Amino acid sequence: MHKLSVSQLVDGLRNGDFSSVELTQCFVNRMQKFNDLNAFITELGERAILQATNADKLIKEKKHRPLTGIPIAHKDIFCMYGVKTSCGSKMLDNFYAPYDATVVEKLDQAGCVTIGRTNMDEFAMGSSNESSYYGPVKNPWNTDCVPGGSSGGSAAAVAARIAPLATGTDTGGSIRQPAALCGVTGLKPTYGRVSRYGLIAYASSLDQGGPFGKSAEDCAYMLQAMAGFDEKDSTSLDKAVPDYTQLLNSTLKGKVIGVPEEYFSEGLSAEVKSVIEGAIKWYEQQGCEIKNISLPNTNLAIPAYYVIAPAECSSNLSRLDGVRYGYRCEDPKDLRDLYDRSRSEAFGDEVKRRIMIGTYALSAGYYDAYYLKAQQIRRLISEDFKKAFEHVDVILGPTTPEPAFKIGEKTADPVTMYLSDIYTISINLAGLPAMSVPCGFSDSLPVGMQLIGNYFEEDNLLNFAHQYQMDTDWHKKTPEGFE
Report the residue from 235, 382, 411, 478 that binds other proteins according to the rule CB under 8 A.
235
**How many CA within 13 A on the CB side of residue 281?**
8
Q: Around Cβ 229, how many Cβ atoms within 10 Å?
A: 15
- Residue 234 sits in the site that holds other proteins (CB under 8 A): yes
CA distance linking residue 33 with residue 402, whole number of Å: 30
269 sits near other proteins (criterion: CB under 8 A): no
CA distance 226 to 212: 12
In the complex, the smallest distance separating the C-beta of residue 413 from other proteins, rounded to whole angstroms, is: 28
Q: Which is nearer to other proteins, 234 or 292 (by Cβ)?
A: 234
Nearer to other proteins, 114 or 469 (CB): 114
Residue 386 is a binding residue for other proteins (CB under 8 A): no
Nearer to other proteins, 231 or 261 (CB): 231
For residues 41 to 80, the per-residue mask of contacts with other proteins, x marking binding by CB under 8 A and - elsewhere, is -------------------------------------xx-
Chosen residue from 44, 97, 125, 437 binding other proteins by CB under 8 A: 97
Toward other proteins, which CB reaches closer, 248 or 425?
425
355 belongs to the binding site for other proteins (CB under 8 A): no
Query: Which 3-state string (H, E, C) describes the chain?
Result: CCCCCHHHHHHHHHHCCCCHHHHHHHHHHHHHHCHHHCCEEEECHHHHHHHHHHHHHHHHCCCCCCCCCCEEEEECCECCCCCECCCCCHHHCCCECCCCCHHHHHHHHCCCEEEEEECCCHHHCCCCCCCCCCCCCCECCECCECCCCCCHHHHHHHHCCCCCEEEEECCCCCCHHHHHHHCCEEEECCCCCECCCCECCCCCCCCCEEEEECCHHHHHHHHHHHECCCCCCCCCCCCCCCCCCCCCCCCCCCCEEEEEHHHHCCCCCHHHHHHHHHHHHHHHHCCCEEEEECCCCHHHHHHHHHHHHHHHHHHHHHHCCCCCCCCCCCCCCCHHHHHHHHHHHHCCHHHHHHHHHHHHHHCCCCCHHHHHHHHHHHHHHHHHHHHHCCCCCEEEEECCCCCCCECCCCCCCHHHHHHHHCCCHHHHHHCCCEEEEEEEEECCEEEEEEEEECCCCHHHHHHHHHHHHHHCCHHHCCCCCCC
Least Cβ distance, residue 374 to other proteins (angstroms): 11
Closer by beta carbon to other proteins, 358 or else 438? 358
Number of amino acids touching other proteins (CB under 8 A) = 44
Least distance in angstroms from the C-beta of 244 to other proteins = 25
The residue from 19, 20, 75, 236 that is catalytic is: 75
Q: Give yes or no for residue 382 binding other proteins (CB under 8 A).
A: no
Active-site entry in 19, 127, 128, 150: 150
- By CB under 8 A, what part of segment 296-325 binds other proteins? 311-312, 314-315, 317-321, 323-325
> Restricting to residues 133-152, which ones interact with other proteins according to CB under 8 A?
none
CA distance to 141, 204, 267, 414, per residue, from 198 (Å):
32, 12, 37, 29
Catalytic residue list contains 150: yes
Of the pair 98, 135, the CB lying nearest other proteins is at 98
To other proteins, the closest distance from the beta carbon of 191 in angstroms equals 10
For other proteins, the closer CB: 121 or 402: 121
Q: In the set 240, 364, 412, 415, which binds other proteins (CB under 8 A)?
A: 364
Nearer CB in complex with other proteins: 258/326: 326
Quick one: which of 339, 345, 478, 482 contacts other proteins (CB under 8 A)?
339
Q: Please tell me whether residue 225 binds other proteins under the rule CB under 8 A.
A: no
Comparing CB distances to other proteins, the nearer of 372 and 470 is: 372
Treating both helix axes as pointing N-terminal to C-terminal, what angle do 45-60 and 6-15 enclose, rounded to 10 degrees?
60
Asked if 232 touches other proteins (CB under 8 A), the answer is: yes
Q: Which of 86, 127, 132, 174 is catalytic?
A: 174
List CB contacts of 279: < 8 A, sequence separation 6 or more.
396, 439, 440, 449, 468
* Cross-strand pairs, 139: 142
Please confirm, yes or no, whether 75 is among the known catalytic residues.
yes
Task: Return the number of other C-beta atoms located less than 10 Å from residue 98's C-beta.
Answer: 10
Choosing from 335, 356, 369, 470, the residue that interacts with other proteins (CB under 8 A) is 335
Q: Looking at 27, 40, 95, 134, which residue binds other proteins (CB under 8 A)?
A: 95
Stretch of 95-103, 269-277, 282-290, 346-354 lying at the interface with other proteins (CB under 8 A):
95-103
Q: Which of 49, 280, 362, 380 binds other proteins (CB under 8 A)?
A: 362
Q: How far is 450 from 182, CA to CA, in rounded Å?
A: 14
Binds other proteins by CB under 8 A, chosen from 54, 143, 205, 286: 205
Of 36-44, 157-165, 358-366, 449-457, the segment contacting other proteins by CB under 8 A is 358-366
Nearer to other proteins, 170 or 402 (CB): 170
Active site residues: 75, 150, 174
Q: Which residues bind other proteins (CB under 8 A)?
A: 78-79, 85, 87, 92, 95, 97-99, 101, 196-201, 203-205, 231-235, 311-312, 314-315, 317-321, 323-325, 335, 339, 359, 362-364, 367, 371
